[in-house]
Amino acid sequence: MLVRLLYASRAVDTSPSALEGILKVAREHNLDHGITGVLIYQGGVFLQALEGGRRAVNDLFGAIQRDRRHKDVELLLFEEIVQRSLCGWAMGLVDVERVNPGTLLRYSDGQGLNPYAVSGRTSLAFIEDLTATAAICGHT
């Protein structure tokens, strides 16, 4: 049983080393637990998509909610899926500063990445657009 989960949160420590620390552990853990996904970051806001087995995704989201490196964790979308759409990434990273501004504008109110203000479906469409145009760094 495969599921997809999307959530938003706000970083507590916005330094590049803090982000690298999160990603390093995430990639190792995700490979071991069959989880794939993308972490999008801009201006202190995270948007993350997780795909994998229902049990594994639930357990991980529990750990993520308890993680003190971010706050205001808000569930945006949870759904059963027939197949993964983010299967190439143990945890890809998108630095929104490097995304074509037109792509972001299509899915936002013009004020940058704000998953708190748009629907979960809109955030998912944004992620699918980014993955389709391969605007993902840190493939693995």
Ligand X SMILES: Cc1cc2nc3c(=O)[nH]c(=O)nc-3n(C[C@H](O)[C@H](O)[C@H](O)COP(=O)(O)O)c2cc1C
Q: What residues contact 37, with CB distance under 8 A and at least 6 apart? A: 30, 48, 49, 50, 51, 52, 86, 89, 91, 92
Q: Is 123 in the site for ligand X (CB under 6 A)?
A: no
**Does residue 33 contact residue 84 with C-beta atoms inside 8 Å?**
no
Pick 25 or 105: Cβ nearer ligand X: 25
- Which of 33, 122 has the CB closer to ligand X? 33
* Using rule CB under 6 A, residue 30 touches ligand X: yes
Residue 45 touching ligand X (CB under 6 A):
no
| Contact flag: residue 60 with ligand X (CB under 6 A) | yes
Q: Tokens 């299509």, residue?
A: 106
Return the sign of the alpha-carbon dihedral for residues 100, 46, 5, 111.
Answer: negative
Query: Looking at 63, 80, 83, 109, which residue binds ligand X (CB under 6 A)?
Result: 63
Provide the H-helix boundaries in the chain: 16-33, 54-66, 101-106, 120-132
Task: Give, for 49, the enclosing helix (H) or strand (E).
Answer: strand 45-53
Binder among 6, 8, 46, 99 for ligand X (CB under 6 A): 46
Minimum distance, C-beta of residue 102 to ligand X, in the bound complex (Å) = 26
From 19-27, 77-85, 112-120, 124-132, give the range in contact with ligand X by CB under 6 A: 19-27
Cβ(94)–Cβ(40) below 8 Å: yes
- Pick from 67, 72, 74, 79 the residue near ligand X by CB under 6 A: 67
What does the binding site for ligand X look like in residue numbers (CB under 6 A)? Answer: 9, 22, 25-26, 29-30, 37, 39, 46, 48, 60, 63-64, 67, 69-70, 91
